[in-house]
């Protein structure tokens, strides 16, 4: 088959869907020796991407996500590529493209938490229109968790027999502590001088950073609690309340905003953290807790959406993310109890090894080859 992959979110900065697309392309090159792949990309990633072999090629699209170009110009580019199958790696697929396709749905965050960037009636209408179009016309829907599958069935009305659950993975670069001196260099760069709590991810309302900061403030009411809170991710001007809360609670001297960090720095931050905290209100998969576990870091996380499913019920301490006091209590239990930290570290490390990007690619390939379009192509070739 000649298979297209929507790689406009392909990213080496490894945030969210960018990581998924990167790992999908990289691991398909490992596990598939017969199909041909075309990656549809935007700049600057198009310029940087080097196809791993002759069966992989790239096409420049330069159509931003959620844009008119995505809906008007992108379909014609896809049709010219003469694909047997197109894999849209996010719901934002062009509605005018009607050739065989499948889609990966990572979450329905915009259905539950539209946020400040989708605040108009037209934007909400467009989102629902595009989402329902791709769910209707896809031959298969890949959901990244059972919770996302349930959301698709209950909220979006997707047919259960079209949905295949395929978990994401953890990159092999994540692992227990490496070279101590290199890690110390990262801590020094960001001014981390104490034991610390770590959060990594984007800044959005549903990520619940304000309640994390409030929980941190509660912990600091105990004079024996001497720690820093480290928050990675790009500073988002749509969410000024995050830094404002730090200032209002007088936590500036104990809170560090690193901005976006490299993968090497992220691994070091995971490895050196005393506790990783994941306070999110909603996730489709929730990769950071698994990455923290793979690095040997104990995890405190929300007991909402897919998070207990992905983390495993016994591998983290869970809290109500709407209650900063309960969040602080869970963090503190791990913080002060060395034996508990060791147990969570061991369980988490073992659990996280079940999640593999190569396994994700193998299962995705099975979906490609199991679709009706492949069967028709084979029958035609025999004649």
Those residues whose C-beta lies under 8 Å from the C-beta of residue 276, and which sit 6 or more positions away, are 197, 198, 199, 200, 270, 288, 289, 292, 297, 298, 299, 300
The percent of residues above 70 in pLDDT, for the chain, comes to 95
At 382, the pLDDT band (50, 70, 90 cuts) reads very low
Query: Does the domain made of 180-352 have the CATH classification 3.40.50.2000?
Result: yes
Q: How far apart are CA 338 and CA 30, in angstroms?
A: 41
Same topology, domains 2-169+356-382 and 180-352? Answer is: yes
For 356-367, the DSSP string reads -HHHHHHHHHHH
CB contact set of 67 (below 8 Å; sequence gap of 6+): none
With CA atoms as reference, report the closest residue to 14 among 179, 230, 171, 165. Answer: 171
Determine the CATH number of domain 2-169+356-382.
3.40.50.2000
User: HEC profile for 102-149?
Assistant: EEEECCCHHHHCCCCCCCCHHHHHHHHHHHHHHHHHCCEEEECCHHHH
* 3-state SS record for 258-289: EECCCHHHHHHHHHHCCEEEECCCCCCCCHHH
Question: Which H or E run includes 189?
Answer: helix 180-189
Q: What is the mean pLDDT of the chain?
A: 92
Is residue 383 predicted with pLDDT exceeding 50? no
pLDDT at 373 over 80: no
Q: Is the pLDDT of residue 307 over 90?
A: yes
Q: Which one-letter DSSP state was computed for residue 195?
A: -
Q: What is the CA 234 to chain-centroid distance, rounded? A: 15
Mean pLDDT computed over 43-64 = 94
Share of the chain above pLDDT 90, in %: 79
Reported as a single tens digit per residue, the pLDDT across 4-17 is: 999 999 986 656 78
* pTM (2 d.p.): 0.91
DSSP annotation string for 213-231: HHHHHHHTTSTT---EEEE
Whether the predicted pLDDT of 265 surpasses 80 = yes
pLDDT of residue 88: 97
Q: Which residues pair with 140 in a beta bridge?
A: 102
Exposure string of 225-246, with b = 16+ CB inside 10 Å and e = fewer, is bebbbbbbbeeeeebeebbebb
Rg, C-alpha atoms of the chain: 22
Whether the CA torsion 358, 287, 12, 95 is positive or negative: it is positive
Cβ distance 83 to 176 under 8 Å? no
70-84 pLDDT, tens per residue? Answer: 999 999 999 999 999
Confidence band (pLDDT; 50, 70, 90) for 180?
Answer: confident
pLDDT of 381 over the 70 cut:
no
Beta bridge partners of 275: 197
Contact between 133 and 93 under an 8 Å Cβ cutoff? The reply is yes
Per-residue pLDDT tens digits for 228-239: 999 999 998 989
Give the position of tokens 């600091």.
Answer: 220
Which band of pLDDT confidence, cut at 50, 70 and 90, is reported for residue 178? low
Q: Is the predicted pLDDT of residue 115 greater than 90, yes or no?
A: no
The arithmetic mean of pLDDT across residues 297-320, rounded, is: 97
**Domain limits, the chain:** 2-169+356-382, 180-352
Residue 259's pLDDT band, with cuts at 50, 70 and 90, is very high
- Residue-wise pLDDT tens digits, 197-245: 999 998 999 999 999 999 999 999 998 999 999 999 999 898 999 999 9
Distance between CA 23 and CA 21 in Å, rounded?
A: 5
Cα dihedral 292, 175, 14, 39, rounded to 10, equals -130
Q: Please report the pLDDT score of residue 179 as a whole number.
A: 65
Query: pLDDT band at residue 126, thresholds of 50, 70 and 90?
Result: confident
């Amino acid at each position: 088959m000649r298979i297209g992959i929507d790689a406009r979110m392909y990213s080496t900065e490894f945030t969210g869907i960018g990581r998924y697309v990167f790992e999908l392309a990289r691991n398909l090159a490992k596990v598939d020796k017969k199909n041909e792949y075309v990656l549809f990309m935007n700049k600057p990633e198009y310029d940087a991407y080097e196809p791993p072999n002759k069966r992989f090629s790239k096409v420049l699209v330069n159509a931003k996500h959620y844009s008119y170009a995505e809906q008007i110009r992108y379909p014609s580019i896809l049709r010219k590529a003469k694909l047997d199958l197109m894999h849209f790696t996010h719901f934002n697929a062009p509605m005018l493209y009607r050739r065989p396709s499948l889609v990966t749905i990572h979450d329905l965050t915009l259905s539950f938490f539209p946020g400040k960037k989708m605040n108009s009636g037209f934007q909400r209408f467009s989102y629902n229109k595009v989402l329902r179009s791709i769910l209707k016309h896809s031959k298969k829907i890949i959901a990244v968790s059972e919770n996302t599958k349930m959301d698709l069935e209950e909220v979006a009305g997707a047919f259960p027999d079209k949905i295949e659950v395929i978990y994401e993975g953890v990159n092999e670069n994540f692992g227990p502590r490496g070279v101590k001196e290199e890690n110390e260099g990262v801590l020094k760069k960001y001014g981390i001088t104490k034991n610390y709590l770590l959060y990594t991810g984007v800044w959005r309302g549903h990520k619940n950073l304000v309640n994390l900061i409030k929980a941190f403030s509660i912990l600091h009411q105990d004079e024996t609690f001497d720690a820093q809170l480290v928050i990675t991710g790009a500073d988002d001007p749509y969410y000024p309340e995050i830094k404002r809360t730090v200032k209002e609670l007088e936590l500036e001297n104990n809170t560090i905003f690193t901005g976006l960090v490299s993968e090497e720095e992220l691994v070091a931050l995971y490895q050196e953290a005393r506790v990783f905290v994941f306070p999110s209100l909603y996730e489709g998969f929730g990769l950071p807790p698994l990455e923290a576990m793979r690095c040997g870091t104990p995890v405190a996380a929300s007991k909402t959406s897919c998070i207990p499913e992905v983390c495993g019920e016994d591998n983290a301490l869970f809290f109500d993310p709407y209650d900063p006091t309960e969040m602080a209590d869970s963090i503190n239990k791990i913080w002060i109890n060395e034996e508990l930290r060791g147990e969570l570290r061991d369980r988490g490390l073992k659990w996280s090894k079940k999640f593999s990007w190569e396994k994700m690619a193998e299962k995705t390939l099975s979906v490609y080859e199991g679709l009706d379009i492949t069967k028709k192509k084979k029958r035609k070739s025999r004649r």
